Structure 1
Amino acid sequence: MSDLEELTQALARNLRRWRGERGFTLDALAARAGVSRGMIIQIEQARTNPSVGTTVKLADALGVSITTLLDRDRSPQVQVVLPGQGVRMWSTEGGSGATMLLGDDRRGPLEVWTYLLEPGEGTDSDPHPSGTLEMLHVTAGTLTLLVDGGEYTVPAGGAVSFEGNVPHTYRNDGTEPMAMTMAVSIPPVTGP
């Protein structure tokens, strides 16, 4: 079985599990996530590989991390992610991309990501649930961060945190690749 097939199977199994644990019907989860009922059925039956945006919406609606939804074999005590073993969530032909390194949902979802944005590239993020906090550390280049209409410049070595419940965009307006590490803390979901 390929890595993609394993991830598709893990997502199907974990989505069914978390939807059941939260007591959400297909219709309730569809309404909370803004994802069609048919798409959720396709995902739960491992018949489709959803976009990153759809996966994020489902994770947010369930109050779990993306790592939890994609987890193939969770180790409860120590989780070591070796170089190259993170989950590649998106990439561009130009070389930009994001990889989720770690995630946990024991105290509300918490995720750790790496991002690489090549010059002239960027990515938009939909608002997350109220109470979501993002913390970024730029390790190379310069990040242009747009948060709810405001624009912020963060050079290599700098860090920024913000409430993620508003539209936000990560951009590289510079001439060198921009690399950053990001932690996202999402409040836990309680009941339907």
Structure 2
Amino acid sequence: MKDFNQIIGNNLQHIRKQKNMSLDRAAELTGVSKGMLAQIEKGASNPTVSTLWKIATGLNVSFSYFMEEEEKEIEHIALKDIKPIIESDGKMQVYPLFPYDQSRRFEVFTIDLEAGWNHISEPHNEGTEEYIIVTEGEMEVSIGDSAYKLSAGDAIRYLADKPHCYRNVTEVMVRFQHIIFYFK
């Protein structure tokens, strides 16, 4: 099983050093405490989705930059072998299938959202697009002031530079594929 905590920590330390940035400066830019950043770099902390988004936005890198590994010619992914990033005490689990790749400019996740739960996402950088394909259950996606109901087999694409929310309004878990495309 991949140890994403260690991968995340190594990549955070790499980008911080590449930018010649102290932990203090990284904390200032991201809004994440110096102590938490140090724990993440050591692989001793399992950061939440929200924390990773703060760090990614503050350091101006993609969300899945932190999960990147050396590229292989063929990569077969088994969901059962991925340790998810957990948010809200397990109510949301994010499985990074294909982390961000600079040449491809997109990343792919499987997300499980428990019954009655939602996740509010802050606006991403201008030009960022999100694609959602529901594979199990039903959900609602709110983008700005509009809401869209999606069932298994349904999909939606939208510009993610405004607040958006993934909401499970049912009594069973919803699973969806989440693709984020970075224009710039």
TM range (shorter): 0.7 to 0.9
Worse overlay, 163-172 or 16-25? 16-25
Match of 2:5 in 1: 8
**Matching of residue 113 in structure 1 with residue 109 in structure 2:** yes
State the Cα RMSD in Å.
2.9
Match of 2:73 in 1: 77
Match of 1:50 in 2: 47
Match of 1:151 in 2: 147
Give the conservation status (yes or no) of the 8 Å contact 1:108–1:187: no
Worse overlay, 145-154 or 46-55? 46-55
**Matching of residue 35 in structure 1 with residue 35 in structure 2:** no
Give the conservation status (yes or no) of the 8 Å contact 1:12–1:45: yes
Match of 2:120 in 1: 124
Which among 20, 26, 49 is matched to residue 23 of structure 2?
26
Q: Find the residue that maps to 2:53 and give its secondary structure.
A: helix
- CA 103–88 in structure 1, closer or farther in 2 if over 3 Å, else same: same
The percent identity for this pair of structures is 28
Residues 124-172 of structure 1: per-residue CA shift (max 9 Å, x gap): 2222222221111122332211122322212322211122222221112
Q: Give the unaligned 5+ runs of structure 1.
A: none
Alignment partners' CA distance in 2, 1:150 and 1:136 = 16
- CA 109–56 in structure 1, closer or farther in 2 if over 3 Å, else same: farther
Match of 2:26, as an amino acid?
Answer: L
CA shift, 1:176, in A, is 4.4
- CA 111–60 in structure 1, closer or farther in 2 if over 3 Å, else same: farther
- CA 68–96 in structure 1, closer or farther in 2 if over 3 Å, else same: closer
Give the conservation status (yes or no) of the 8 Å contact 1:63–1:186: no
TM-score (norm. length: structure 2): 0.80
Between Structure 1 and Structure 2, how many residues are aligned?
A: 184
Alignment partners' CA distance in 2, 1:67 and 1:8 = 12
Worse overlay, 153-162 or 96-105? 96-105
Match of 1:171, as an amino acid?
Answer: R
Which among 124, 133, 139 is matched to residue 129 of structure 2?
133
Q: Find the residue that maps to 2:78 and give its secondary structure.
A: coil
Alignment partners' CA distance in 1, 2:111 and 2:65 = 20
Alignment partners' CA distance in 1, 2:54 and 2:139 = 25
Give the conservation status (yes or no) of the 8 Å contact 2:4–2:83: no
Give the conservation status (yes or no) of the 8 Å contact 2:48–2:87: no
Alignment partners' CA distance in 1, 2:162 and 2:145 = 9
